[in-house]
Amino acid sequence: MNLQIRDATIDDVPVILQLIVDLATYERAPNDVTATETQLVDVLFGPKPAAEVRLAFEDDVAVGFAVFFHNFSTWLGKPGLYLEDLFVRPEHRGKGYGRALLVDLAKIARERGCGRMEWAVLDWNDPAIQFYRKLGAKPMDEWTVFRLTGDEIAKLADS
């Protein structure tokens, strides 16, 4: 396996966007992607980056990525590493790339003094759930994720 994992650069934005589309397709929501290359340049490489991206390559081919950012645990008094997306293209699965990306992120979390790593997984994605459990990750069954989006955010902000 000729795997390389590295930080994404601004030149990788087209690859990042394609991986986002591939992930959305895998998650049965290909038409939900509205991100553009211009947006990604701004939010990932602008003056206040909102997230970081690690890319996995097999030889010179991008086979997967991890998108993450830092959150904060008031109870621990430490930052956390939140994994927004982990994706390996289906034709490259089973080679250890997903695990390698998570090991890479664990090293980043340790180096940055993070108290925990967290992420969400779709409840129908049993292969991913089993994969995460094998790594020692535990589901937070007692927690429910809530979300506000565009119109709801605006309505609440105007209230």
Active site members: 132
User: With left for phi above 0 and alpha for psi between -120 and 50, is residue 94 left, alpha or beta?
Assistant: left
- 81 with 51: CB under 8 angstroms? no
Measure Cα distances from 131 to 36, 67, 107 in Å.
31, 18, 19
Partners of 87 in the β-ladder: 65
Identify the helix (H) or strand (E) that includes residue 1. Answer: none
